[in-house]
A and B are shown apart, each in its own frame.
Chain A
Amino acid sequence: MVGTGLGVLVKCVEVTKYFGGLPALKNVTMDVEQGEIRAVIGPNGAGKTTLFNVINGVYRPSSGKVFLDGVDITGKPPHRIFKLGVGRTLQIPRPFKELTVWDNVFAGGLFGESMSRQELMNHATSLLEKVGLLSKASVKAGVLNLQERKKVELARALASKPKVLMVDEYMSGLNPAEIEEAINLFKSLRKEYGLTIIWVEHVISAVASLADRVSVLNQGAKIAEGRPQEVIEDQAVVEAYLGERVVHSSESG
């Protein structure tokens, strides 16, 4: 196993979440180490976003616990978990549409860890520069295209200098050059801010080149975990993505 040797930062213990009578997550246990980039993959409806919602407090799990740096954060409201150092972006980005790009990022740092106004302004500027939106700083976020909105949300999530960044599908819809650019962006963000990144993604090529470890969810349960190469070749994972029959036929052929 790959380890950063810095200890576990985010720990999910037997997290289960029911909606009505239907389980969306079943006994998911996951340890994310400090400084790690952890990809969470799985087919549509596997429970990836639900897991994110449990970690950052949007949902309270039906059972199980979530720990951040050893502190039990299960069931705490999102704004509280945010203040403990968890930044998050959403699958469908929701920047503040009526606020400028700059104000979006500024707002992201305003309610978190105490920073001086000057410090926050410098930080916001450098983040906008990093994601490549500095030239659009005074544009209202509502007029941006999808990729730009994702970038605004990313910068907003980082404005409070979180320990953990949770990214929900950043790469889908990007062309190969943009994916390459995004991979480099995340690498440099981790390096510069000592971030731990938990990252839901569908673009497997990006996962393979960026993630330290991969957790695979299928129908709410964790079915595999390990280095990207190991996981992608894992029988259960291939079945989850492609269905059993296809696997059998490829075996016979």
Chain B
Amino acid sequence: MNETRARFTTLLALIAIYSVLPLFFLDTPYIVFILAQMIFFTIFAYGFNFLFGFTRQLFLCVGSFAGIGAYITGISLRDGLMGPVEAVVVSTAATALVGWAVSVLSIRRKLVVIFTGIFTLAITLVFNNTVVGLANITGGETGFRIRGFSLGPLDILPYNLRFYYLAAAVLLAATALSYYLIFHTKTGYAYRCIMDDEVSAELVGVDVSRVKSMTALLASALLGFSGAQYGLFSQLIAPSYFAFATVDLPAQIIVILGGRASLLGPYIGSAIITVINEALKFLGPLTQLLYGLILILLLAFFRNGIVDFVKRRFLPWFF
């Protein structure tokens, strides 16, 4: 099959590009920092994409889920409660569990997309209030620093590059796993059926509840896992780093601009957003306003995203 080969080649090219990309910018740590940041946001967008793009579960708590991971890991390491590996495992498991529970509850209570959105937005508020409220543990509004943390053999690399490769490995592994599930198992068909019509999906034997809740479990695990790393990378864990406007909004823009329910979409979306973000840095706080405007315009005029556009016009195999 030619399409399969084209897809696989693209996947390999993606791995190659992300492996060598930062090597061109070794002299400017700032750019490596921006690239690492971009990858973390691509991962957050990946989580949102699986929840909303593939299974129509509007989780407006992507930042909070990353935050759960970051705070559990950060506090555990700061206070010496757990070793680094245990801390990340616990963070991942806790976030996965919360995501799964939210999904199961939404399915059981038959919350439609919009009510799941309101429900998860409330989770974002609860998370924020909890973190700010428990100031003696979390450092409240200003958060706490977490420094001098070792990544083992990666320590020989410059600081930003360490986290770049760590995040890139997570992202590419997640992409490869998704690629396998979607193009080499029935999961891809199940997603297409669910996206199209949940009633009919059930009629052709798709266990819609299970697919949704398992997807929520895995996507939340990814968010908790990468959130923990993002906290360490940032060296400061504070509520504003995981706020709706900081994480959810960009993640939504990345997914909608790049293309919902596609595997390359978040890569394309985050690359574009990163360039725009850097080019318009001089705007300062106005970037938030810009994000809002971009999202409005995208939703109004370009809902299907770049990948869909490329698929329709140029490359039917694009994913």
- Asked if residues A108 and B204 are in contact (CB atoms below 8 Å), the reply is yes
Binds A, one of B155-163, B185-193, B264-272: B185-193
With A96-B197, A97-B197, A98-B195: A111-B186 Cβ-Cβ less than 8 Å:
yes
Which range contains the number of B residues in contact with the other chain? 10 to 19
Asked if A156 is at the interface (CB within 8 A of a chain B CB), the reply is: yes
With A96-B197, A110-B186: A88-B192 Cβ-Cβ less than 8 Å:
no
Asked if A136 is at the interface (CB within 8 A of a chain B CB), the reply is: no
Q: How far is the CA of A160 from the CA of B199 in the complex (A)?
A: 17
Q: How far is the CA of A94 from the CA of B199 in the complex (A)?
A: 8
Complex contacts, B206 vs chain A, CB 8 Å: 79, 111
Complex contacts, B153 vs chain A, CB 8 Å: none
Tell me the count of chain A residues lying within 8 A, CB to CB, of chain B. Answer: 26
Asked if A236 is at the interface (CB within 8 A of a chain B CB), the reply is: no
Complex contacts, B189 vs chain A, CB 8 Å: 106-107, 110-111
- Interface Cβ pair total, 8 Å cutoff: 64
Q: Give the shortest distance, in Å, between A12 (CB) and chain B (any CB).
A: 20
- Asked if residues A77 and B202 are in contact (CB atoms below 8 Å), the reply is yes
Q: How far is the CA of A108 from the CA of B197 in the complex (A)?
A: 13
Q: How far is the CA of A148 from the CA of B6 in the complex (A)?
A: 34
Complex contacts, B203 vs chain A, CB 8 Å: 56, 78, 82, 88, 90, 156-157
Asked if A42 is at the interface (CB within 8 A of a chain B CB), the reply is: no
Instruction: Please tell me which one of the listed residues B195, B197, B205 contacts residue A79 in the complex, with CB atoms under 8 A apart.
Output: B205
Instruction: Please tell me which one of the listed residues A79, A97, A98, A107 contacts residue B202 in the complex, with CB atoms under 8 A apart.
Output: A79
Asked if A130 is at the interface (CB within 8 A of a chain B CB), the reply is: no
Asked if B287 is at the interface (CB within 8 A of a chain A CB), the reply is: no
Asked if B94 is at the interface (CB within 8 A of a chain A CB), the reply is: no
Asked if A112 is at the interface (CB within 8 A of a chain B CB), the reply is: yes
Q: Give the shortest distance, in Å, between B203 (CB) and chain A (any CB).
A: 6
In A147-166, which residues have CB < 8 Å from any B CB?
A: 156-157, 159-160
The residue in chain B whose Cβ has the minimal distance to the Cβ of A80 is: B207
**Most chain A CB neighbours (cut-off 10 Å) among B200, B202, B208:** B200
- Asked if residues B197 and A111 are in contact (CB atoms below 8 Å), the reply is no
Asked if B196 is at the interface (CB within 8 A of a chain A CB), the reply is: yes
Q: How far is the CA of A24 from the CA of B27 in the complex (A)?
A: 74
Q: How far is the CA of A88 from the CA of B200 in the complex (A)?
A: 10
The residue in chain A whose Cβ has the minimal distance to the Cβ of B199 is: A94
Asked if A187 is at the interface (CB within 8 A of a chain B CB), the reply is: no
**Per-residue contact bits, chain A 102-120, to B (CB 8 Å; 1 contact, 0 not):** 0100111011100000000
**Contacts A99-B192, A156-B200, A156-B203 supplied; 12 other A-B pairs, CB < 8 Å:** A77-B209, A79-B205, A79-B208, A90-B199, A90-B203, A97-B197, A98-B195, A99-B193, A107-B192, A110-B186, A111-B186, A111-B205
A residues adjacent to B (C-beta < 8 A): 56, 77-80, 82-83, 88, 90, 94-99, 103, 106-108, 110-112, 156-157, 159-160
A-B CB contact pairs (8 Å), 5 listed = A82-B203, A95-B200, A110-B189, A110-B204, A111-B204
